[in-house]
Structure 1
Amino acid sequence: MYIVLRGDHFAPSKMLYTLLPLLLTAASPITASAIPPNTTALDPPVPIRECFTNANNTLFLPLIPQFADLLESEPRTNLSAFPDLKNGQSARRPQHTINGVCIELLAFNTDVLFPLQITGSGLAHTARGIAEQCGGLGWGYYVDKETGNNYHKELWAILEPCSTWAPKTSGGRLICATDTTGMERHDPSLPCPGEEAAGR
């Protein structure tokens, strides 16, 4: 196939700037969807940041229930404040292989001040919520199944194929609406002043 381009609009330098983003997008193994996630009946609901639309998403969907069942047995764990350079414990990456396909749920504490706790039932609930709303793999936020706490979205949860990939982030911290100075130290596992339930 040959493409003939005529005129100044298609000078090689302009073509590179036009085609490079398209080539990089096409080469990406996982891309974010512009389509909003499906609604969910899961309670408490799992907030979604973005859904992945890679070609293998439907391959993973039937495996998620068994994967989530395996996550139930994960121990209660404290994820250190981000970044815990000394111990490297800001994230947990439980992985399981089902029918020859390796799946993981990356739980990642982005709060720079406070450690946050995860449980096996919370990981399983979060994986089910992401899969249900995204039709497979996606990026959401951890939700504690028993309390409904989503830690003000400071604890990311990424349901993906097994890898060593992690999002590039500088971390952050919770600033409640009542903090007029931006200097208060507020624990994301607790409600902000005036909120009824933690993290909701």
Structure 2
Amino acid sequence: MDCRVGVRLHRRTNLPQQTARGLTGYGDSRLVPLIPHIRLAKTGLPVWMLGLGADRLRADMNRLLAMLFHQGVLDEQFLQLQQLQDESSPNFVSEVVNIYFHESEKLLKNLRELLMDREFSDYKKMGTHLNQFMGSSSSIGAKRIRNVCVAFRAASEHNKPCWVSQCLRALEVLEHEYCYLKNKLHELFQIEQQRVLAAGVRYPMQNN
């Protein structure tokens, strides 16, 4: 499923030779003179600025997560997933979530194929797919998707042809919620990758 939409990307600032725009990166137009022969990291940023970048990106992550919790998109299970991530498995959360995305797209495809069949009558199979979707969504803290699955399953349990149209509408809502979650979590992981890069170059740099 193509869920690509215009998402806000956090790009590293490209500094000109003599000046750099505001340190915050949020529209501050003041020009800051650079010190001649300042030590640069591999990112092109002065080493002394990297801590500021990492802190800003962490704040961006926290704001995005707070928004997703406020909207009911995620619940505390996602935080528990984050707590399992450590130095030995730095990509644990993104790997688990990507497996979830892969399996979810197969389930969504199967659900749509069932409902588009003119002779559709296998409500039991639909319920099985929805139960799988509910379980996997609960395991990563995708609260709003789980709730949509519950409503979808309730509509499918009527087992009447006239309810197929309602199931199709429920599927459209489910697909919309899935794409919203996928885009937001991809954005979160992009910020996290950039934060790790910014934080990682705090360590002594090797001379070229």
Higher Cα radius of gyration: 2
Same fold, judged at TM 0.5 (above): no
More strand per residue: 1
Tell me: higher relative CO, structure 1 or 2? Use CA pairs within 8 A at least 6 residues apart. 2
TM-score band by shorter chain is under 0.3
Normalised to the residue count of structure 2, the TM-score between the two structures is 0.22
More helix per residue: 2
